[in-house]
Copies of this chain bind each other. A is one copy, B any other.
Protein backbone atom coordinates (compact mmCIF):
# COMPACT_ATOMS: atom_id res chain seq x y z
CA UNK A 1 0.00 0.00 0.00
CA UNK A 2 1.09 3.51 -0.82
CA UNK A 3 2.25 5.61 2.14
CA UNK A 4 2.52 9.36 2.64
CA UNK A 5 5.46 11.36 1.32
CA UNK A 6 6.43 12.15 4.87
CA UNK A 7 6.50 8.45 5.68
CA UNK A 8 8.67 7.78 2.63
CA UNK A 9 11.17 10.29 3.92
CA UNK A 10 11.18 8.66 7.36
CA UNK A 11 11.53 5.20 5.84
CA UNK A 12 14.53 6.27 3.84
CA UNK A 13 16.17 7.66 6.96
CA UNK A 14 15.37 4.48 8.87
CA UNK A 15 16.88 2.29 6.16
CA UNK A 16 20.09 4.32 6.18
CA UNK A 17 20.29 4.26 9.96
CA UNK A 18 19.69 0.50 10.08
CA UNK A 19 22.23 -0.12 7.32
CA UNK A 20 24.86 2.09 8.97
CA UNK A 21 24.47 0.21 12.26
CA UNK A 22 24.31 -3.28 10.80
CA UNK A 23 27.23 -2.76 8.41
CA UNK A 24 29.46 -1.54 11.25
CA UNK A 25 28.37 -4.39 13.47
CA UNK A 26 28.57 -7.33 11.07
CA UNK A 27 30.47 -6.06 8.03
CA UNK A 28 29.09 -5.31 4.58
CA UNK A 29 28.99 -8.87 3.28
CA UNK A 30 27.39 -10.47 6.31
CA UNK A 31 24.44 -8.08 6.28
CA UNK A 32 21.60 -8.99 3.91
CA UNK A 33 19.15 -6.55 2.39
CA UNK A 34 16.39 -8.45 4.16
CA UNK A 35 18.18 -7.80 7.49
CA UNK A 36 18.37 -4.09 6.79
CA UNK A 37 14.76 -3.75 5.66
CA UNK A 38 13.46 -5.80 8.57
CA UNK A 39 15.44 -3.66 10.99
CA UNK A 40 13.90 -0.59 9.38
CA UNK A 41 10.41 -2.06 9.79
CA UNK A 42 9.79 -2.94 6.13
CA UNK A 43 9.85 -6.01 3.92
CA UNK A 44 12.75 -6.72 1.61
CA UNK A 45 10.84 -6.28 -1.65
CA UNK A 46 10.51 -2.55 -1.13
CA UNK A 47 14.24 -1.99 -1.06
CA UNK A 48 14.59 -1.09 -4.74
CA UNK A 49 12.17 1.75 -4.37
CA UNK A 50 14.84 3.50 -2.31
CA UNK A 51 18.20 2.30 -3.63
CA UNK A 52 19.37 0.90 -6.91
CA UNK A 53 21.51 -1.90 -5.47
CA UNK A 54 23.28 -3.07 -2.33
CA UNK A 55 26.37 -1.19 -3.50
CA UNK A 56 24.33 1.98 -3.74
CA UNK A 57 23.10 1.48 -0.18
CA UNK A 58 26.66 0.91 1.03
CA UNK A 59 27.81 4.17 -0.57
CA UNK A 60 24.91 6.18 0.80
CA UNK A 61 25.14 4.63 4.24
CA UNK A 62 28.86 5.49 4.35
CA UNK A 63 28.15 9.10 3.40
CA UNK A 64 25.27 9.33 5.87
CA UNK A 65 27.32 7.93 8.75
CA UNK A 66 30.35 10.08 7.91
CA UNK A 67 28.23 13.21 8.03
CA UNK A 68 26.67 12.18 11.29
CA UNK A 69 30.03 11.49 12.91
CA UNK A 70 31.52 14.74 11.72
CA UNK A 71 28.56 16.68 13.09
CA UNK A 72 29.00 14.93 16.44
CA UNK A 73 32.42 16.44 17.12
CA UNK A 74 32.21 19.37 19.47
CA UNK A 75 33.83 20.70 22.59
CA UNK A 76 37.42 20.08 23.64
CA UNK A 77 39.59 17.92 21.39
CA UNK A 78 41.09 16.17 24.42
CA UNK A 79 37.61 15.10 25.54
CA UNK A 80 36.81 13.74 22.11
CA UNK A 81 40.04 11.73 22.06
CA UNK A 82 39.45 10.36 25.55
CA UNK A 83 35.89 9.34 24.65
CA UNK A 84 37.07 7.71 21.45
CA UNK A 85 39.76 5.61 23.15
CA UNK A 86 37.35 4.25 25.72
CA UNK A 87 36.21 0.73 26.64
CA UNK A 88 32.61 1.72 25.89
CA UNK A 89 33.56 2.58 22.32
CA UNK A 90 35.43 -0.71 21.95
CA UNK A 91 32.27 -2.56 22.97
CA UNK A 92 29.93 -0.45 20.85
CA UNK A 93 31.02 -1.29 17.32
CA UNK A 94 27.53 -0.87 15.85
CA UNK A 95 27.26 2.67 17.15
CA UNK A 96 30.91 3.65 16.94
CA UNK A 97 33.40 5.07 14.47
CA UNK A 98 32.82 4.12 10.85
CA UNK A 99 36.51 4.12 9.98
CA UNK A 100 37.55 1.74 12.72
CA UNK A 101 34.59 -0.57 12.05
CA UNK A 102 34.84 -0.79 8.26
CA UNK A 103 38.14 0.85 7.40
CA UNK A 104 39.92 -2.24 6.21
CA UNK A 105 36.94 -3.22 4.02
CA UNK A 106 36.49 0.16 2.34
CA UNK A 107 39.40 -0.05 -0.12
CA UNK A 108 37.90 -3.28 -1.48
CA UNK A 109 34.63 -1.60 -2.38
CA UNK A 110 34.30 -0.05 -5.77
CA UNK A 111 33.79 3.56 -6.70
CA UNK A 112 31.00 5.28 -4.86
CA UNK A 113 31.14 3.37 -1.58
CA UNK A 114 34.84 3.92 -1.22
CA UNK A 115 34.66 7.53 -2.31
CA UNK A 116 31.99 8.34 0.26
CA UNK A 117 34.22 7.00 3.01
CA UNK A 118 37.26 8.77 1.62
CA UNK A 119 35.42 12.09 1.61
CA UNK A 120 34.24 11.47 5.15
CA UNK A 121 37.78 10.83 6.30
CA UNK A 122 39.08 13.99 4.67
CA UNK A 123 36.36 15.98 6.43
CA UNK A 124 37.25 14.35 9.71
CA UNK A 125 40.92 15.24 9.37
CA UNK A 126 40.09 18.83 8.41
CA UNK A 127 37.82 19.19 11.41
CA UNK A 128 40.36 17.75 13.86
CA UNK A 129 43.00 20.05 12.38
CA UNK A 130 40.83 23.05 13.15
CA UNK A 131 40.45 21.92 16.73
CA UNK A 132 44.21 21.57 17.21
CA UNK A 133 45.75 24.14 19.53
CA UNK A 134 47.80 26.97 18.04
CA UNK A 135 50.86 25.36 19.56
CA UNK A 136 50.72 22.79 16.78
CA UNK A 137 51.74 25.42 14.25
CA UNK A 138 50.09 26.85 11.15
CA UNK A 139 47.12 25.34 9.35
CA UNK A 140 49.25 22.87 7.37
CA UNK A 141 51.15 21.72 10.44
CA UNK A 142 47.88 21.32 12.35
CA UNK A 143 46.48 19.21 9.54
CA UNK A 144 49.55 16.97 9.63
CA UNK A 145 49.19 16.67 13.38
CA UNK A 146 45.51 15.78 12.95
CA UNK A 147 46.45 13.01 10.50
CA UNK A 148 48.76 11.39 13.01
CA UNK A 149 46.30 11.92 15.83
CA UNK A 150 43.44 10.25 13.95
CA UNK A 151 45.66 7.44 12.66
CA UNK A 152 46.57 6.56 16.23
CA UNK A 153 42.96 6.82 17.36
CA UNK A 154 41.64 4.54 14.61
CA UNK A 155 44.53 2.10 14.93
CA UNK A 156 44.27 2.05 18.71
CA UNK A 157 40.53 1.36 18.69
CA UNK A 158 40.88 -1.29 15.99
CA UNK A 159 43.65 -3.15 17.83
CA UNK A 160 41.82 -2.90 21.16
CA UNK A 161 38.83 -4.58 19.49
CA UNK A 162 41.03 -7.18 17.92
CA UNK A 163 42.64 -8.61 21.05
CA UNK A 164 40.42 -11.12 22.79
CA UNK A 165 41.72 -10.30 26.25
CA UNK A 166 40.06 -7.47 28.15
CA UNK A 167 43.18 -6.54 30.09
CA UNK A 168 45.27 -6.27 26.93
CA UNK A 169 42.54 -4.17 25.31
CA UNK A 170 42.39 -1.84 28.32
CA UNK A 171 46.15 -1.45 28.28
CA UNK A 172 46.19 -0.63 24.57
CA UNK A 173 43.56 2.03 25.12
CA UNK A 174 45.34 3.49 28.14
CA UNK A 175 48.74 3.64 26.43
CA UNK A 176 47.31 5.40 23.37
CA UNK A 177 45.16 7.75 25.40
CA UNK A 178 48.08 8.78 27.59
CA UNK A 179 50.41 9.34 24.65
CA UNK A 180 47.90 11.37 22.67
CA UNK A 181 46.71 13.51 25.55
CA UNK A 182 50.31 14.26 26.50
CA UNK A 183 50.93 15.33 22.91
CA UNK A 184 47.85 17.55 22.85
CA UNK A 185 48.88 19.18 26.13
CA UNK A 186 52.25 20.06 24.57
CA UNK A 187 50.56 21.55 21.53
CA UNK A 188 47.90 23.34 23.53
Report A's interface with B, CB cutoff 8 A.
26-27, 29-30, 93, 99-108, 114-115, 117-118, 121-122, 144-145, 147-148, 150-156, 158-159, 161-165, 168, 171-172, 175-176, 178-180
- By beta carbon, the residue of chain B nearest A180 is B148
Indicate which residue in B115, B147, B161 contacts A176 across the interface (CB closer than 8 Å): B147
When all copies of this chain in the complex are counted, the total is 2
A69 to chain B, nearest CB (A): 14
A30 → chain B, closest Cβ, in Å?
Answer: 7
Which B residues are in CB contact (< 8 Å) with A102? Answer: 104
Please report the C-alpha to C-alpha distance between residue A77 and residue B103 in the assembled complex, in whole angstroms: 26
The complex places the Cα of A153 from the Cα of B154 at a distance, in Å, of 10
CB of A156 within 8 A of CB of B155, answer: yes
**Contact residues in B for A27 (Cβ distance below 8 Å):** 29, 104-105, 108
- CB neighbours (8 Å) of A29 from chain B are 27, 29-30
Q: Is the CB of A159 within 8 A of B107?
A: no
Q: Is the CB of B105 within 8 A of A93?
A: no
Asked if B175 and A107 make an inter-chain contact with CB atoms under 8 angstroms apart, the answer reads no
